[in-house]
Chain A
Amino acid sequence: MFESIAKSVIDYSNIPTFIVGIYTMAIYKRLPREMKYFSWFVFVSFVVQVIASILFYNSENNLPLLHIYTVVGFVCLIIFYNQIFDGLIKPLILWVLAAVFVVYSVINSIFIQDIYTFNSYALSVEAVIIIILSLTTFVFLMNDIVKERRLAIIKSISWINAGLFIYYSSSLLVFYFGNMIISFAQSPLVRYTWFIYALFSIIMYFCFFVGLWKRPRKSIS
């Protein structure tokens, strides 16, 4: 029973990506500035997921896509967080962080983890940075002055940020214990791990959907 549920979750974990992607396209024009930048991340995820699915059904290795997605997705999220912090955290810090990560990720893909393998090192570093940024965002959003300034959008940002935090913190553990899990290749542990990973991905997209749904309905300047 549990096996079949786990299999279904893993198999259909792409669906939320498609739903949120299509929904974001539909409401893109009505989104406030900050969320427009976030929607770029959703679009990138959507496009990558579509191509990855096509490659998968054609029995081709889709891992090079993950290498590209790691870099592009990260840059999109940095732009999004830059918009949230609105100058209260110097944009230069985040841009330097993004640049360093891109360089590290490219070096990792060329010299350390081949593009046809799982880029767990880059993903782990990405997860650490996103966890730091999302935790900072939670503290940031609790500040009274910030609350006052961004009252309209605070709910949306909180949901999106919560989604990112949940997904990346669980991913970090999965990537961290990745090597150990691989050593149990024949055991159901691998399947359970991917089940948990997929489950958190679904939760993240659910949070994204709620965040996008709770967007400010009136245009804000």
Chain B
Amino acid sequence: MEATQEINFLSILLPLVLVVFVIAIGVFLLNQHFQKNLIRQQLEREELRNKHQKELLQSNIEVQEAERKRIAKDLHDELGATLSIAKMHLMRLEQMHPSLESKGLSIRNVRNIIETSIASVRQISHHLMPNQLETFGLIRSLEGMVDQINESKQVEIDFEIPQNPSKLSWEKELGLYRIFMELIQNTLKHSQAKNVEISCHEDDGFVTMRYKDDGVGLPEKMVHGLGLKSMEARIKAVGGSLEFIRGDGFAARLTVPIKDD
């Protein structure tokens, strides 16, 4: 009698336990699945947000560059041309009235000032938008800049270039050019360096450029100033990376993918 009751009890209880077990397993598996999908969705959103930020940054830089190009063109074509005409008139005046010089009216001085102004306008215009970058590309432009600086004897720059450098997109070349300009300016202004080494090589679809000077190096506490932020923004906008290496002097490594996304 007792045995029958036990069997009855077990035959009722065991399936019930099984049902509860099935429910528990079901809830557990669905929750695991949900948590996994939630993490995946979050990552996707994060990626999308980053992409959006990158696009925003890119368009910001594009607008900035377009504006620079316009100002550079206006300066060069309009102000530069006006000053050249003024210089031409002064030269004619000098030739036509040589007696004015003897009366204390120094036309030559005015002409010199105008010539200096024309040179300044050209320099500013060139800094705003380097024409040779569009014509000759990044490597040649950097070479030209290096030659100019070496001529000034302020620092000695050693520029090591690859045999057949790949052609990068205009945005990447301009970005890298601006970053190098900033790095060289920092070296000239703050580092007290005597030598600078710039190297460029290509590997695995990436261009890696190294910049190193033998100056005082980065301060212990690095302040993220406007120049640094601008460099970081530019490299991020072209999908590259910028890394500062601590050690003797200052060193930085820039990596940019050769192909566009």
A binding-site residues for B, Cβ under 8 Å: 85, 87-90, 93, 124, 128-129, 131-133, 135-136, 139-140, 143, 145-146, 172, 176-177, 180
Which 6 A/B pairs are nearest by Cβ-Cβ distance? A132-B26, A136-B30, A135-B27, A88-B37, A88-B34, A89-B34
Which residues of chain B come closer than 8 Å to A146, judged between CB atoms?
38
Query: Do the beta carbons of B37 and A132 come within 8 Å of each other?
Result: no
Give A133's nearest chain B residue, CB to CB. B30
B binding-site residues for A, Cβ under 8 Å: 12, 15-16, 19, 22-23, 26-27, 30-31, 33-34, 37-38, 41-42
Query: Do the beta carbons of A128 and B19 come within 8 Å of each other?
Result: yes
A-B contact pairs, 20 of them (CB 8 A): A87-B41, A88-B34, A88-B38, A89-B30, A89-B33, A89-B34, A90-B37, A93-B33, A128-B19, A128-B26, A131-B23, A132-B26, A133-B30, A136-B27, A139-B27, A140-B31, A145-B42, A146-B38, A176-B16, A176-B19
Q: Tell me what chain B mostly uses at the interface: helix, strand, loop, or mixed.
A: helix
Query: Do the beta carbons of A136 and B22 come within 8 Å of each other?
Result: no
Query: Do the beta carbons of B34 and A172 come within 8 Å of each other?
Result: no
For A124, A135, A180, the residue with the greatest tally of chain B CB atoms inside 10 Å of its CB is A135
Q: A88-B41, A145-B38 are in contact. Are A139 and B31 (CB under 8 A)?
A: yes
In Å, the complex CA distance between A88 and B12 comes to: 37
Given contacts A89-B30, A89-B34, A146-B38, 6 further A-B contacts (CB under 8 A): A88-B34, A89-B33, A90-B33, A135-B23, A172-B19, A176-B16
In Å, the complex CA distance between A133 and B27 comes to: 7
In Å, the complex CA distance between A140 and B38 comes to: 10
For residue A25, give the distance in angstroms from its CB to the closest CB of chain B: 32
Q: A128-B22, A145-B42 are in contact. Are A89 and B37 (CB under 8 A)?
A: yes
Give A146's nearest chain B residue, CB to CB. B38
For residue A77, give the distance in angstroms from its CB to the closest CB of chain B: 15
Give B12's nearest chain A residue, CB to CB. A180
In Å, the complex CA distance between A124 and B23 comes to: 12
Give B27's nearest chain A residue, CB to CB. A135
For residue B12, give the distance in angstroms from its CB to the closest CB of chain A: 7
Which residues of chain A come closer than 8 Å to B31, judged between CB atoms?
136, 139-140
Which single member of B12, B23, B41, B42 contacts A128 (CB below 8 Å)?
B23
Which residues of chain A come closer than 8 Å to B37, judged between CB atoms?
87-90
Which residues of chain B come closer than 8 Å to A180, judged between CB atoms?
12
Q: A172-B19, A176-B16, A176-B19 are in contact. Are A132 and B30 (CB under 8 A)?
A: yes
Query: Do the beta carbons of B38 and A143 come within 8 Å of each other?
Result: yes
In Å, the complex CA distance between A90 and B34 comes to: 8
In Å, the complex CA distance between A140 and B37 comes to: 12
Give B30's nearest chain A residue, CB to CB. A136
For residue B101, give the distance in angstroms from its CB to the closest CB of chain A: 81
